[in-house]
Every structure is written in C-alpha cells, then in structure tokens.
Structure 1
Amino acid sequence: MGNAVDDDGARSASARRYVMDDDLTARLETVLMVVAETLEFPTVRVNVVDDDRQHTIRLFGTGGTGSVPRSEAFCDTVVRTGHPVIVQDAAHDPRFADFPAVRSGEIGSYLGVPLVGREDLVIGAICTVDSTHRTITSHQLRVLLQFGKIVERQLDLIRTATEEHLAVGAAAGAGRQGGAPSRPLVGLVGGARRPRPGHRFGRPHRTP
C-alpha cells in the first residue's frame, strides 16, 4: 500500500485531467442551475483540487471561475476526508473561520460532497455556498449526493470527448510528419496524367 504522499500524488494527477476550460464545461450549466433552485442556494460550484490549488471549473451564481490555494479551500476538506462537509456558520467554525472567503463575507455557509474521477479517486467536489449562515438539512445533503453522481458522469463524458479529440489531432500530426501528401498531385499519383499544352482532359481544346 502506498503512503499518503504517493496516494495524493496519484489523486492529484487524476484531478488535473479534469481541469477544463469554460467552453468544455458548458454542459454542466443546466445541472448546476437545477441544484441551486432545488436546494435554494444562490451559488453552486464544481471544484477540482490538485496538489496545491483548487480550480473552479464551473459555477452558477455569484463569484467567478479561477483558482485559490488549496489551503484556503473548503473543498480540500472534502477531498482529504472523502466525505461530505457541512458548514452552517463558517464564521464560527474553527476549521474555516480564518479563510479569506469567510473573512470577506463571501462564504457564510457551505455544503460539499465528493466527486470521484475515472481512476476511482476523489478529484474535487460539487458544493453549494451562501454568504449568510443557514441551517442545512439531511435532505439537502442526500439531494446533493445524487446530483454529484450526475456531474461525475458529465465530467467523464467531457474527458472522453477531449481525449478522443486530442488523439485524432495527434494522429493527423504524425501523418503529416511522416510525409503523407495532404492532397493528390495531378500527374504524379493515381495514374493521372498532365494535360498537354492546348488540350484539356476529356476533349481537345483549340487555341484561337
């Protein structure tokens, strides 16, 4: 069995496969909107956590995408424990009270559940965030866990499509480097012949 450092190294390598641009994660927008409406939270995020940073790859609500240090991320606790995290009053929770997002008033309450990648390792979390403290119910947790499964499937589909696109591009590049012609050369390949001056293929051409 590997040690904790080795395990997190493999986990981080898996997570980096899911750090995607906005145009690739657009299909998650509708899911996150439904999560926000169902759980009555203003903000929902899909965060991927690698070895030292948390990357928000899709967001519905306030805030923006980008990354923050892993040491300042709520979702890091989800990743490290592999379990959901409920924070009903972040300002009075000793685990998170000193986080910049809490001190600035951006996060007052938080609910996050793990996202598992293709390698069967936790790559990050889907989370709901509110700027005020609030009660979070067991029903909301169960619902978010179900939505997490949907997001996992969507992320795997996006990853598969991305890898297939890269493989096609690599194959095309290898073909060009191997000297394969990009288009047929008339008169040189396929038995085609060059027309003689004054003639066209199919019929003679008279020069006026």
Structure 2
Amino acid sequence: MQPAPLPANEPDRLAALRALLILDTPPEQRFDRIVEFAAQEFEVPVALINLIDEGRQWSKAAVGMVACEMRREESFCSYVVFSSQALVVEDLTQDPRFADAPLVQQAPHLRFYAGVPLNSKEGLTLGTLCLLDHRPRQLDATDLAILGTLGALCAGELRGESVESVED
C-alpha cells in the first residue's frame, strides 16, 4: 500500500488532536451511536470513528470490527487526513494506492471505503468517520451529504460542542 503523505500542518494537527485528550480512552455511547446509525443508514457491515496520530490509526468507535489500532502507513483514513476532504473508493482492489493493502488482500477482504474528515475548531483534520464494505459500492450526492452531516456531528462531539452548534 502506498502510504499517504503527511499534511503540511502536521505539527499543529497533532497538537490539536492531543489537546482533545481522547486518544486511548474507553468507548463512549455518544460515538458508538454515530457509528451504529451510519452502519444502518448506509447498510454497510463496518463503520468507524478513526483518529490518526504520529504513527497509528486508532478507533474511538467501531461497528463490524473490533475497535482497532493499526499502523498509519496501512490506513485508508490517512488519505483523508492528508487532503482534508471526503474520499470514496468504490473498489479498493482497483485503486493503486490501496489494492495491495493488508485489509484488502487478507481478511476481512475490504472492497469499499468512504471517509469524511473530522475537523478541529481550527479546521485541522484529526481523523475520519468512515464506512467499509466487503463488496464494491457507490455513493450518490445525497449519500455523501448524509455522511458529511454525520461527520460534522461527530466532529462536534469531539470538540465538546452541542448538536445545535455543529456546522458542516
């Protein structure tokens, strides 16, 4: 797998992530509910809230996979952190960045990825809300809008904001 480049704002991004004091904390219902809803809404077997630090991807909430930690170099979500934009890969086996990734070539044999950025108040991408499936899929504009709204809700929770103050 081709690892994602580091964003230009990496030191600031990492400082903002650390300031949340959320890494390596126990599961929380407020995040579990978001991934449960996302998995149901999009009819996918896997939905995750992932945060990316210096060397790893860490899952704050997970449906369909045991909350996990993996090397940043093997993380699809690192591409979202680099670009600060949503990423949809309809078939991971057809994308040269991901075709030989362990999670594609070995169990669970993932084929689809969609991730939206989770941003700090300063607009720094700390991680993603992502969807995964074992088969290729497509998302339309409405799906992307719904996923983006769920991502904004999740980012607001990370920042400690109430639902009323969450913006896209």
TM over 0.5: yes
The whole-number CA distance in structure 2 between the counterparts of 1:126 and 1:5 is 18
Aligned to 1:157, what secondary structure does the other structure show?
coil
Normalised to the residue count of structure 2, the TM-score between the two structures is 0.83
Residue 37 (structure 1) aligns with: 40
- Give the Cα separation in 2 of the matches to 1:5 and 1:93: 21
Q: Distance in 1 between matches of 2:8 and 2:37?
A: 37
Whether the 8 Å CA contact 2:7–2:83 is kept in 1: the answer is no
Tell me whether 1:151 sits opposite 2:154 in the alignment.
yes
- Map Cα deviations across residues 37-75 of structure 1 (whole Å, 9 max, x no partner): 111212110000012211111112x21113111110000
The equivalent of 1:86 in structure 2 is: 88
Alignment of 1:121 onto 2:124: yes
Helix, strand or coil: the match of 2:114?
strand
The runs of 4+ residues in structure 1 deviating greater than 3 Å are none
Query: What SS class does the counterpart of residue 159 from structure 2 fall into?
Result: helix
User: What is the Cα deviation at residue 35 of structure 1?
Assistant: 1.4
1:102 aligned counterpart, secondary structure: helix
Q: Which runs of 5+ in 2 are unaligned?
A: 1-5, 162-168
Q: How many residues are matched?
A: 153
TM-superposed deviation, 1:128: 0.5
Q: Does 1:46 align with 2:49?
A: yes
Q: Does the alignment pair 1:59 with 2:59?
A: no
Offset of 1:134 from its aligned partner?
Answer: 1.8
CA contact (8 A) 1:22 1:58 kept: no
Alignment of structure 1 residues 147-186 onto 2, 5 Å: 147-157=150-160
Residue 22 of structure 1 is matched in structure 2 by: 26
Question: Kindly tell me: are residues 5 and 151 of structure 1, through their superposed partners in 2, closer, same or farther at Cα, counting changes over 3 Å?
Answer: closer
Deviation string 1:105-143 (CA, Å, 9 cap, x unpaired) is 422101000000234311000000101112222221111
- Corresponding residue for 2:166? none
More displaced 10-residue stretch of structure 1: 122-131 or 36-45: 36-45
Q: CA RMSD in A?
A: 1.9
- The percent of aligned pairs where both chains have the same amino acid is 27
Question: What CA distance in whole angstroms lies between the structure 1 residues aligned with 2:47 and 2:29?
Answer: 14
Measure the CA separation in 1 of the matches of 2:72 and 2:39. Answer: 24
User: 1:177 aligns to what?
Assistant: none
Query: Which of 13, 30, 33 is the equivalent residue of 1:11?
Result: 13
Which protein shows a greater Rg? 1
Q: CA deviation at 1:150?
A: 0.8
Q: Would you say the 8 A contact 2:115–2:129 is kept in 1?
A: yes
Q: Deviations over 1:156-186 (max 9, x none)?
A: 229xxxxxxxxxxxxxxxxxxxxxxxxxxxx
Normalised by the length of structure 1, the TM-score is: 0.68
SS, match of residue 22 in structure 1 = coil
Structure with more contact order per residue of length (Cα contacts < 8 Å, sep ≥ 6):
2
